[in-house]
């Protein structure tokens, strides 16, 4: 080997039996390299891969579906609309807030106020039986006159009308007595409790947070008997009022003050 051949071999690093690649082989190798997803592209001076973003995510182990899940969890979908999970969480948070507000309203009533203004079960004043009995007697008299007219038209003895009057008065007196015994009211910690009814026994719990205002009223018969009626106006009810009859004026005023104070405490100090 000549000195020129040795210098050429040391410069290229190719041995005597090795051969340099031809131009066609170099071109084919470059094309195969460009076809690789992560391979360098022509003209890329830094040699960094310029493949599609989805290939980069796949190579780094990131699932493309996770990006969609992150968007849904964040409250929006790919179209920019609120996600269903976000709407449900908003509704649940509002419900929790309302329940917490109700709970806070119940806890706002001071225990000392509850002890001072609540009462045991109380009956109505016995004089209310005269008031109910008067209206019962009027109804019984009208019905007796109607029945007597029918008996006379049928040619039956008129004495049957008197029998009907006695029966109706007896039924009316029994109804008044039972009505009075069934009527009970109580100022409780969270509501005004009413219990009444003869044929239909009714129990009513009137929460203080629903009370709008409280009044007292006295009709002509009530003034004659020295009685008064407490009227409680509530929010969201059809009749808009609940009444407690058969109270002495001082009892009605005392009950009005108790209910009003507890309703103010339940509302957080707002005046009625």
Query: CB-based contacts of 254: which residues, under 8 Å, 6+ apart?
Result: none
pLDDT score, position 131: 95
Please choose, from the candidates 116, 107, 105, 110, the residue with its C-alpha nearest in 3D space to the C-alpha of residue 257.
Answer: 116
* Domain 120-266: CATH class, spelled out: mainly beta
pLDDT score, position 42: 43
What does the radius of gyration of the chain's CA atoms come to, in whole angstroms?
A: 47
pLDDT score, position 113: 67
pLDDT score, position 47: 46
0.85 surpassed by pTM: no
So where are the chain's domains? 120-266
Chunked in runs of 10, what are the mean pLDDT values of the chain (272 residues)?
45 46 48 47 45 42 46 48 61 70 55 79 95 93 88 82 87 94 94 93 90 92 95 73 93 94 78 52
pLDDT score, position 14: 46
pLDDT score, position 16: 46
pLDDT score, position 239: 54
pLDDT score, position 114: 73
Q: 241-247 and 228-234: which strand pairing?
A: antiparallel
């Amino acid at each position: 080997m000549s000195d020129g051949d040795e210098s050429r071999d040391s410069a290229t690093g190719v041995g005597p039996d090795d051969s340099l690649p031809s131009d066609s082989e170099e071109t084919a190798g470059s094309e195969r390299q460009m076809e690789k997803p992560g391979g360098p592209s022509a003209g890329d001076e830094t040699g960094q891969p310029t493949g599609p973003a989805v290939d980069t995510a796949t190579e780094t182990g990131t699932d493309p579906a996770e990006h969609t899940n992150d968007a849904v969890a964040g409250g929006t979908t790919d179209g920019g609309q609120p996600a269903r999970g976000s709407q449900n969480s908003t509704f649940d948070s509002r419900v929790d807030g309302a329940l917490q507000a109700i709970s806070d309203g119940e806890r706002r009533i001071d225990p000392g106020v509850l002890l001072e203004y609540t009462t045991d079960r109380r009956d109505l004043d016995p004089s209310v039986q005269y008031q109910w009995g008067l209206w019962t007697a009027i109804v019984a008299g009208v019905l007796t006159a109607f029945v007597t007219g029918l008996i006379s038209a049928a040619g039956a003895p008129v004495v049957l009308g008197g029998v009907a009057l006695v029966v109706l008065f007896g039924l009316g007196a029994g109804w008044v007595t039972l009505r009075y015994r069934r009527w009970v009211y109580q100022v409780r910690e969270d509501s005004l409790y009413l219990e009444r009814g003869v044929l239909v026994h009714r129990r009513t719990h009137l929460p203080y947070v629903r009370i709008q205002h409280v009044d007292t009223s006295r009709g002509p018969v009530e003034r004659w008997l020295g009685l008064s009626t407490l009227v409680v106006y509530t929010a969201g009810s059809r009749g808009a009022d609940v009444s407690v009859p058969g109270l002495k004026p001082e009892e009605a005023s005392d009950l009005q003050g108790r209910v009003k104070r507890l309703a103010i405490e339940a509302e957080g100090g707002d005046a009625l």
